[in-house]
Structure 1
Amino acid sequence: MDTTGTVPVLEADLAVVGFGKGGKTLAAALAGRGSKVVMIEQSDRMYGGTCINIGCVPTKNLVFAAETPDPLHDPDDRYARAVDETQELTALLRGKNFAMLDRLDAATVVTGRAVFTGPHELTVTAGDDTLVVRAETIVVGTGADPVLPPIPGLRESAHVVTSTELLALRERPRRLVVLGGSYVAVEFAAMHAAFGADVTLLERGPRILKAEDPDVVEEAARILAGTGVRIVTGASLVRVEDADGADGPVRVVHRNAAGTEATTYGDVVLAALGRTPHTAGLGLEAAGIDTDERGAIRVDEHLRTSQPHVFAVGDVNGGPQFTYVSLDDYRVVLDQLVGDGRRSTADRRAVPSTVFMTPPLARVGLTETEARAAGRPLKVAVRRVEDMATVPRARIVHDPRGLMKAVVDAETDEILGVTMLSHDAHETINTVALAMRASLTATQVRDGIYTHPSMTEALNDLFGNLR
């Protein structure tokens, strides 16, 4: 460390801004090879990144707790215990993630806020302390933040929370109003309904989960309604108001397509209206790093920014906001730095996704709507889980709800996409994704040998019903 000036300077081969999946994995890999690495994270509560602290891990832990009956505790105690256990889990993983880098002699973890002051230079501040980090290569992995649109009262209300804040709330909401109809909105709505809350979901568009086929959304909405979630579509938000009346401490005024206003009351309002890349305040202009109209850092297929020695990984680069995509970002950047440089984001095929409602909704590839829009000749199979007589697993676990859908090219037998709304869909979809990446045909998957009783053997039935 250079301390000849008034501000200490730390020289490094690699500086990573943000402790998320892609950045931390790259930092560990290069430090393990002997490169001098500096990991910069602005909060000691975010070691390990969004996924383990305020994203995938805590939400799915609470989903599991909500799904698991606990007759020994009343609903309030059960919820508080689930939140406490979730916090303990994230603290454990946070410590393990810190130790993953701290144990490496070539790695240094710096806790503070980083701002670019030049193409190769970052100024890091923490309270009254300042440190300059200079590095040959810099990786930005600062993630994304919840969006709070300029809706009157939304930012000012004492009862509006983001998903991060709701995860830490130990007092169970009796009435929860969810704004939005995407992944986060649906997962939290389903979770809190399972914990016994009266949940209303307000979606501006004509349906929730707008990326999915209408028949799939209809089934998902039916399942959510069966668990107590009231879904209101076509709801344009007008304002949010705190109130002291008997109806509840907060009210959300919304307008339907005909212009008629309605009011929904709650104890807590969850704003799940999307996430935007976290680039504000990073000083990217000082480094000559370009962003797009959404604020995402512009990258090429090798994740290089407008400065070739600076890479952007994870949510901050505007790509799919999944931790496993960030992990693949790491592979792309690692190949650029120590490999042959051939790997790129263009290599990605059949990347699956899951909405962790109960049962989960998972998909890989195209929807039927997308495939028809592309002009492909199609065969389609849609099977209700309860009608799959040869797939008893769902009944064994007492959840035969949902459906499965396969979309196949009628001429080539190529699997174009599969959607599963069913028990264990989040696991079974990975088998389909692997088959698609290996270019297996629908016939080969149909005739595969799978364990029994399992949800994977539903692929025999599903692909056997293509029409």
Structure 2
Amino acid sequence: METKKHVKNLIIGFGKGGKTLAAFLAKRGEPVVLVEQSADMYGGACINIACIPTKSLIVEAEKGTDYPRAYEIKEQLTASLRQKNFEKIAGLENAEVITGKAAFASQNEVTVQLAAGGEVRIEAERIFINTGSQPSIPPIEGIGSEKVFTSAGLIAEAGRPEKLVIIGGGFIGLEFADMFAKFGTQVTVLDRHAQFLPDEDEDIAGELFKVLTEKTIHLVNDASVEKVEDVSNGLVTVYFTQNGHQKSLTANAVLLATGRKPSTDDLNLAAAGIQTDKRGYIQVDDQLKTNAPNIWAIGDCNGGPQFTYISLDDFRIIRNQLAGNKQYTSLKDRQPFPTCVFVTPPLAQAGLREKEAHKKGYEVKVFKIQASTIPKAAILNERRGVLKAVVDAKTDRILGCTFFCAEAHEMINTVQLAIHAGVTYDTLANMIFTHPSMTEALNDLFVSPA
């Protein structure tokens, strides 16, 4: 049975930007409908299949928790957050959550196939697409094996594999490699690049390579995967070429960490005349508007950086437009942002790397210290890693920092603030920090160039 309703605001997808926008609009007294295709995804990918569950497993692995218990803790955490996120929106006076699959019928109308059966057609004045992204599956023979998983699929398994092959040596692949290695899995990473982490400075990449391989993670570069084949006893064999030589590995599971693509295929964007790029990402202007004047795209699906905090920043840009705030209403207003890879110790980065600074024509001073010199690192019994900073030699302003050390994910935010404020490096060199803390290492880092 089909029903039809009219609403001022329709949001497709329960991700960070969408749910935050829904709450904002509802609290302003504007009716809003939030459509999510699965009850298992209330709150979005971050809390259900990405950031939160993986970091929960990483933390439990560092504590020495065995995998069955770590899995149980992860499941309880995500279930709790999923329910809280649902209640935060559904409990608002002007908001409604509809569970079902949405597709455009026209520029102002969307058809939702309800999860409980039936269909509803929603006509909306404004529509916000927040459908996120999903793993990109490479055209490899045998890739449909039940022993081949995406990141979400692998962490949904209650048991861990004894042997794991990861296809893809980017940050997602390395996080999973490090996490499962801590749980006792034998891990091999097959990376198509000839060089390990080619976008990083060689000294940082080399330090990370050293730490990961010391954990018995086998990192194989210049590896071109050709075939996956199921064999007996629940095993799978991966065939690949390296340096012109045919090789193979047998494992209990294979993880695909080969990039992502937008979750837009089922939206029938053509019915609304919405333009996409050749990869399927929704094209937006600097205000996150599509070519349709009443439709915006938020988060991963618009082709921007794929981080939860960028989706939240997309919300801010749209919020300010709708609220009449003339500040920070465009992507042009977005500041550079930090990133972090949650291996152990974490690798965090803000601003320019040394090679990027040189490429941009800066004359630089480079500062570097070993993590083993930091008192808090000794307390944490995590002495591995290095801290590096790049400074403009003419202005003494910090161009960028890369921290591969304990608590780097927290430290980098202090540096990011300094970069935004345009302060000189001696400000951090002479700042009074708490002791013992990892952040006080900035006093030592900025003493003299390496």
For this structure pair, what is the TM-score category when the shorter chain's length is used for normalisation? over 0.9
Q: Measure the CA separation in 1 of the matches of 2:2 and 2:227.
A: 48
Q: Measure the CA separation in 2 of the matches of 1:209 and 1:101.
A: 40
Q: Measure the CA separation in 2 of the matches of 1:410 and 1:402.
A: 25
- How far 1:342 moved relative to its partner? 3.8
Which of 301, 320, 344 matches 1:335?
A: 320
1:192 and 2:180 aligned = yes
Q: Which amino acid aligns with 1:234?
A: D
Which of 30, 33, 46 matches 1:38?
A: 33
1:165 and 2:153 aligned = yes
Which of 200, 219, 223 matches 1:212?
A: 200
The farther-off stretch of 188-197 and 296-305 is 296-305
2:24 paired residue number: 29
- How far 1:307 moved relative to its partner? 1.1
User: Which digits, 9 at most, give the CA deviation of each residue in 1:422-459, with x for residues without a partner?
Assistant: 00000000000011111111121211111111010111
Q: Measure the CA separation in 1 of the matches of 2:90 and 2:338.
A: 33
1:142 and 2:131 aligned = yes
The farther-off stretch of 310-319 and 7-16 is 7-16
1:122 and 2:122 aligned = no
Aligned to 1:15, the other structure's residue is in SS state: strand
- How far 1:380 moved relative to its partner? 0.7
1:409-424 residue pairs with structure 2 within 5 A? 409-424=392-407
Q: Measure the CA separation in 1 of the matches of 2:251 and 2:103.
A: 40
2:241 paired residue number: 255
Which of 392, 410, 413 matches 1:430?
A: 413
1:48 paired residue number: 43
1:466 and 2:449 aligned = yes
- How far 1:12 moved relative to its partner? 1.1
- How far 1:341 moved relative to its partner? 4.0
Q: Measure the CA separation in 2 of the matches of 1:237 and 1:103.
A: 49
1:61-460 residue pairs with structure 2 within 5 A? 61-70=56-65, 78-126=66-114, 128-154=117-143, 156-244=144-232, 249-257=235-243, 259-343=244-328, 344-386=330-372, 388=373, 391-460=374-443
Q: Which amino acid aligns with 1:61?
A: S
Q: Measure the CA separation in 1 of the matches of 2:195 and 2:379.
A: 32
User: Which digits, 9 at most, give the CA deviation of each residue in 1:202-261, with x for residues without a partner?
Assistant: 10102333331111111111111111211001101111111117xx7111111113x101
1:207–1:217 contact (8 Å) kept in structure 2: no
Q: Which amino acid aligns with 1:411?
A: K
Q: Which amino acid aligns with 1:146?
A: P
Q: Measure the CA separation in 2 of the matches of 1:213 and 1:10.
A: 55
Q: Measure the CA separation in 1 of the matches of 2:195 and 2:68.
A: 32
1:3 paired residue number: none
- How far 1:279 moved relative to its partner? 0.9
1:122–1:134 contact (8 Å) kept in structure 2: yes
Q: Measure the CA separation in 1 of the matches of 2:101 and 2:138.
A: 25
* Count of residue pairs brought into register by the alignment: 448
Q: Measure the CA separation in 2 of the matches of 1:115 and 1:341.
A: 33
Aligned to 2:35, the other structure's residue is in SS state: strand
Q: TM-score, normalised by structure 2?
A: 0.98
User: Which digits, 9 at most, give the CA deviation of each residue in 1:277-308, with x for residues without a partner?
Assistant: 11101111111111111111111111111112
1:182–1:210 contact (8 Å) kept in structure 2: no
Q: Measure the CA separation in 1 of the matches of 2:202 and 2:258.
A: 21
Aligned to 2:124, the other structure's residue is in SS state: strand
Q: Which amino acid aligns with 1:271?
A: L
1:18 paired residue number: 13
Among the aligned pairs, what percent are the same residue?
46
Q: Measure the CA separation in 2 of the matches of 1:318 and 1:250.
A: 34
Q: Measure the CA separation in 1 of the matches of 2:32 and 2:377.
A: 48
Gaps of 5+ in 2: none
Gaps of 5+ in 1: 1-5, 71-77
Aligned to 1:8, the other structure's residue is in SS state: strand
Runs of 4+ deviating beyond 4 Å: none
1:253–1:262 contact (8 Å) kept in structure 2: yes
- How far 1:327 moved relative to its partner? 0.5
